[in-house]
Chains A and B, each alone.
Chain A
Amino acid sequence: MRIPVPPSSEITPPESFLRRRLLLAGGATLGGIGGPALATPLPSTRAAAWSIDDKPTPFSTMTSYGNFYEFGPDKDSPAKHAHRLRTRPWTLTVDGAVKTEKTFAIDDLLKWAPLEERIYRFRCVEGWSAVVPWIGFPFAELLKRVEITGNAKYVEFWSLADPGQMPYVRVPLLDWPYVEALRLDEAKHPLTLLALGMYGEVMPKQNGAPLRLIVPWKYGFKGAKSIVRVRFVEKQPATAWTKAAPDEYGFYSNVNPDVPHKRWSQSHERRLGEFRKRPTLPFNGYAEQVAGLYAGMDLRQNF
């Protein structure tokens, strides 16, 4: 896969960029309160080579249906409660196996790299799926800004766990804070996205504002939301869902139609809004790009 060169028609004019900065500065308090009317635009450039051609799932579907257990266990809990999340000020701390620990303000982080729009498949471990135009840049951009040591073999992504903003952090549904993790080479893969927005807008709160991870060839829960900390570690970490049910959710959790979940088959999926199932693709359709990461591994064992 090549790094795409956008046609000049797709390059965002500087006025838009400047307007974006203004909106981000002033609109942060509005972002994600509710429907599209209050959403804040986040200009970006379509990365066609990294995108699929399928029609995106409606924005209203993606903002009203999802899992974000810090705001409650139901599919509509995030939409109901995420308005309590305060996304400014927001910092990201990078520590663990790094030469020097660093903390970045979210508004500086936004300027790290040109924002790309990538239309990815999204597959939830529960059997539903979606097509989402995410906005962000590869996680690899972070690695340009910190110096990791030789001990860094895995990367942990820590979600915020503030009971004042997230009512269900008081309830021991999961072992809070929500920590997800990737192997370092998975994190470095150009498909792995630090997402700051979707559908041309700043990331809605119920979808993991202001900063979340998207790993399109893995089940959705691997993409930690509302990230406050990235920690590099040497040993494979215990992650939130693996701790909760080790026989149901493995560390890798690559989308795999041949490895059923304990309670249902993963061979098919249902796109949100659709009645009929469609076959699930190995690595969620990204096998060409990522299968090499797992050469020689037994993916039934390492599910």
Chain B
Amino acid sequence: MDHTPDSRQLGRIKAVLFALCLLPAGRLGWAAWSGDFGPNPVEFVQRWTGTWTFNLLLLTLCVTPLRSLTGLHWLARLRRMLGLFCFFYATLHFLAFVGFDHEFAVDAIARDILKRPFVTVGFAAFVLLVPLAATSSNRAIRWLGGRRWQDLHRAVYPVAILGCLHYLWLVKATALLWPIAYSAAVALLLGWRVREWRRKAIPVPRFPDAKPLKFFSRRPD
């Protein structure tokens, strides 16, 4: 499996992926056009945008493990689009929250964020996504330098954990199945990274019979 698409093929793949990522938004557009948002329109919009934010977050986090397991390194070139679509649905989700739940009343929004833990963590995750989306261009990568850019973009890991908490805390105890399934997926994807970091860490030699170093308070003669 070492076939790497050339730039034309990659362009096509990206176009298809772009269209696929737009499908969930298309579903909302269809509902708006037909006026049929189901029995509980706001719940539908909020769940739909929240679910797709999480789906795209998981897909984004799948890229590196998939690349490593399959050797298809060109997959990394799809990651930016997936991440940006994750941010796109997160933004819709956030707008549905401030618009439908609070009709854009800033004090009510602030109170909700401070008072309700599931809103607090959801909002924190969204805030952490903003700098990642803002620094997704090639220019931003050059400006930051690869190393710093990568460090910054590791913020996606806390975002994933906050996303799990958000989902776990917002449902009632009888509806934990999906939040647990998503959390398990996040645990798997982050756990794989932890294992990789450990594996790749520079090994420190260990001597089982080594004595602790002695330090002298005075310089020995």
> What is the interface of chain A, defined by CB distance below 8 A to chain B?
61, 64-65, 69, 73, 75, 128, 173-174, 244-245, 248, 263-265, 270, 272-277
Q: How far is the CA of A264 from the CA of B118 in the complex (A)?
A: 10
Is the Cβ of A128 less than 8 Å from the Cβ of B40?
yes
Q: How large is the interface on B (under 10, 10 to 19, 20 to 34, 35 or more residues)?
A: 10 to 19
Q: Identify which of B148-156, B171-179, B191-199 touches chain A.
A: B171-179
* Chain A residues near B38 (CB-CB < 8 A): 65
Q: How far is the CA of A176 from the CA of B173 in the complex (A)?
A: 15
* Chain B residues near A61 (CB-CB < 8 A): 39
- How far is the CB of B108 from the nearest CB of chain A, in Å? 9
Known: A263-B116, A263-B118, A275-B100. A64 touches B172 (CB 8 A): no
* Chain A residues near B41 (CB-CB < 8 A): 273-275
> What is the interface of chain B, defined by CB distance below 8 A to chain A?
38-43, 100-101, 103, 112, 116, 118, 169-170, 172-175, 177
- How far is the CB of B105 from the nearest CB of chain A, in Å? 11
- How far is the CB of B73 from the nearest CB of chain A, in Å? 41
Q: How far is the CA of A277 from the CA of B118 in the complex (A)?
A: 21
* Chain B residues near A64 (CB-CB < 8 A): 39
Is the Cβ of A73 less than 8 Å from the Cβ of B116?
no
Is the Cβ of A174 less than 8 Å from the Cβ of B174?
yes
Q: How far is the CA of A173 from the CA of B116 in the complex (A)?
A: 24
Q: How far is the CA of A265 from the CA of B119 in the complex (A)?
A: 12
- How far is the CB of B78 from the nearest CB of chain A, in Å? 33
- Output the nearest chain B residue to A272 by Cβ-Cβ distance: B39
22 interchain pairs, CB-CB under 8 A: A64-B39, A65-B38, A65-B39, A65-B40, A73-B174, A75-B39, A75-B40, A128-B43, A174-B174, A245-B172, A245-B173, A248-B172, A263-B116, A263-B118, A263-B169, A263-B170, A270-B40, A272-B39, A272-B40, A273-B39, A274-B41, A276-B103
- How far is the CB of B179 from the nearest CB of chain A, in Å? 12
Q: How far is the CA of A301 from the CA of B62 in the complex (A)?
A: 48
* Chain A residues near B43 (CB-CB < 8 A): 128
Q: How far is the CA of A277 from the CA of B42 in the complex (A)?
A: 10
Q: How far is the CA of A173 from the CA of B172 in the complex (A)?
A: 10
* Chain B residues near A277 (CB-CB < 8 A): 101, 103
Sorted nearest first, the 10 A-B pairs with minimum C-beta distance are: A65-B39, A173-B174, A61-B39, A272-B39, A73-B175, A128-B40, A73-B174, A275-B41, A272-B40, A245-B173
- How far is the CB of A86 from the nearest CB of chain B, in Å? 25
- How far is the CB of A74 from the nearest CB of chain B, in Å? 8
* Chain A residues near B116 (CB-CB < 8 A): 263-264
Is the Cβ of B169 less than 8 Å from the Cβ of A275?
no
- How far is the CB of A98 from the nearest CB of chain B, in Å? 33
Is the Cβ of B118 less than 8 Å from the Cβ of A270?
no
* Chain A residues near B169 (CB-CB < 8 A): 263
- How far is the CB of B31 from the nearest CB of chain A, in Å? 12
* Chain A residues near B172 (CB-CB < 8 A): 245, 248
- How far is the CB of B199 from the nearest CB of chain A, in Å? 40
- How far is the CB of B116 from the nearest CB of chain A, in Å? 6
Q: A263-B116, A273-B40 are in contact. List 5 more A-B contacts (CB 8 A).
A: A75-B39, A75-B40, A263-B169, A272-B40, A275-B100
- How far is the CB of B103 from the nearest CB of chain A, in Å? 8
- Output the nearest chain A residue to B99 by Cβ-Cβ distance: A275
- Output the nearest chain A residue to B39 by Cβ-Cβ distance: A65
Q: How far is the CA of A178 from the CA of B118 in the complex (A)?
A: 28
- How far is the CB of A157 from the nearest CB of chain B, in Å? 20
Q: How far is the CA of A273 from the CA of B177 in the complex (A)?
A: 27
- Output the nearest chain B residue to A173 by Cβ-Cβ distance: B174
* Chain A residues near B100 (CB-CB < 8 A): 275
- Output the nearest chain A residue to B116 by Cβ-Cβ distance: A263
Interface centre among A245, A274, A275 (most CB of B within 10 A): A275
- How far is the CB of B115 from the nearest CB of chain A, in Å? 9
Interface centre among B42, B100, B170, B175 (most CB of A within 10 A): B42
- How far is the CB of B121 from the nearest CB of chain A, in Å? 13
* Chain A residues near B174 (CB-CB < 8 A): 69, 73, 173-174, 244
Q: How far is the CA of A265 from the CA of B118 in the complex (A)?
A: 13
- Output the nearest chain B residue to A260 by Cβ-Cβ distance: B115
- Output the nearest chain B residue to A69 by Cβ-Cβ distance: B174
- How far is the CB of B177 from the nearest CB of chain A, in Å? 8
Q: How far is the CA of A270 from the CA of B45 in the complex (A)?
A: 14
- Output the nearest chain A residue to B169 by Cβ-Cβ distance: A263
Q: How far is the CA of A244 from the CA of B100 in the complex (A)?
A: 30
Q: How far is the CA of A149 from the CA of B41 in the complex (A)?
A: 48
Q: How far is the CA of A265 from the CA of B105 in the complex (A)?
A: 15
Q: How far is the CA of A174 from the CA of B40 in the complex (A)?
A: 24
- How far is the CB of A47 from the nearest CB of chain B, in Å? 26
- How far is the CB of B123 from the nearest CB of chain A, in Å? 15
